[in-house]
């Protein structure tokens, strides 16, 4: 029996996914749309790291926040979902996908204006990581390898915007690996509670919801 794909639509792009691959990009990951629109506007080339089915990246492309999109994931099922989305929507001229452990298998064919990610949030040992690669980052290796290698992929004025989880980590966990690899933190911020819960609950008319988001954003760039 073949895989049964579910679908979610963002404007003119329908994203195919397998339920077990959902890691938050379909709900709280949609905070990126407002965050990117407010801080960057439209950019040329976006890369989504640890993309899963590409909920964030394909949504950004659908909302007109980039001209081109590259996505990558270590899970072959996630890459299959992204390939299906690209083929079904006939966006081969705008989007590309790579099967890659961190950035290891991605060719430097063009540099990126903006990198976005809702990466695995929880530090762990190797056993927990193998049991659930969506949630666990063994000894923060997924983050360390990213910040080690990202310089050669970024345009000189390019930025990185990661969505992290406050109960799992703080900015202090990432600051050394960011600064030691030639980048600098530009800002750390949260979305306001109303917009966060609109994304999580998929409800537009929440009149009053003040419970704070558990997620925060780290924006970094190459040191000037």
**Per-residue pLDDT at 210:** 58
List pLDDT tens digits, range 120-151: 999 999 999 888 888 999 999 999 999 999 99
Boundaries of domain holding 147? 6-222
**Per-residue pLDDT at 3:** 87
Assign residue 25 the CATH number of its domain: 3.40.50.150
Contacts of 157 (CB under 8 A, 6+ apart): 113, 221, 222
Residue 218 lies in a domain: yes
**223 by DSSP, 3-state: which?**
coil
How does DSSP classify residue 134? T
Number of neighbouring beta carbons within 10 Å of residue 42: 14
Give the relative orientation of helices 141-149 and 171-179 as an angle to the nearest 10 degrees. 30
**Per-residue pLDDT at 131:** 87
Contact 54, 46 (CB under 8 A): no
Which phi-psi region, left, alpha or beta, contains residue 146 (left: φ > 0; alpha: ψ -120 to 50)? alpha
Residue 44 lies in a domain: yes
**Is the CA virtual torsion 39, 41, 45, 46 positive or negative?**
positive
List pLDDT tens digits, range 63-81: 999 999 999 999 999 999 9
| Number of folded domains that form the chain | 1
**Per-residue pLDDT at 93:** 98
- Name the nearest CA neighbour of 79 among 106, 60, 61: 106
Whether the pTM exceeds 0.95: the reply is: no
CA distances from 204 to 33, 36, 197 (A): 15, 19, 9
**Per-residue pLDDT at 18:** 97
Residue 1 lies in a domain: no
Mean pLDDT per 10-residue interval, the chain, length 224 residues: 89 97 90 94 98 98 98 97 98 98 92 97 92 92 98 96 94 98 96 63 58 86 94
């Amino acid at each position: 029996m073949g895989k049964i794909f579910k679908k979610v639509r963002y404007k003119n792009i329908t994203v195919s996914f397998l339920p077990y691959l959902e890691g938050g990009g379909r709900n709280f990951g949609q905070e990126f749309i407002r965050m990117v629109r407010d801080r960057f506007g439209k950019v040329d080339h976006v890369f989504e790291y640890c993309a899963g089915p590409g909920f964030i990246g394909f949504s950004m492309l659908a909302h007109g926040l980039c001209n081109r999109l590259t996505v990558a994931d270590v899970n072959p099922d996630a890459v299959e979902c992204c390939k299906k989305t690209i083929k079904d929507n006939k966006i081969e001229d705008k989007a590309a996908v790579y099967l890659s452990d961190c950035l290891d298998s991605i060719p430097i064919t063009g540099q990126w204006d903006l990198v976005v990610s809702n990466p695995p949030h929880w530090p762990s040992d190797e056993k927990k990581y193998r049991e659930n690669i969506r949630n666990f980052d063994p000894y923060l290796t997924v983050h360390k390898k990213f910040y080690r290698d990202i310089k050669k992929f970024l345009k000189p004025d390019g930025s990185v915007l990661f969505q992290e989880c406050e109960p799992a980590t703080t900015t202090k966990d990432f600051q050394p690996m960011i600064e030691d690899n030639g980048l600098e933190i530009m800002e750390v911020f949260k979305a306001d509670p109303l917009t966060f819960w609109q994304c999580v609950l998929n409800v537009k008319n929440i009149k009053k919801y003040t419970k704070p988001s558990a997620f925060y954003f780290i924006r970094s760039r190459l040191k000037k």
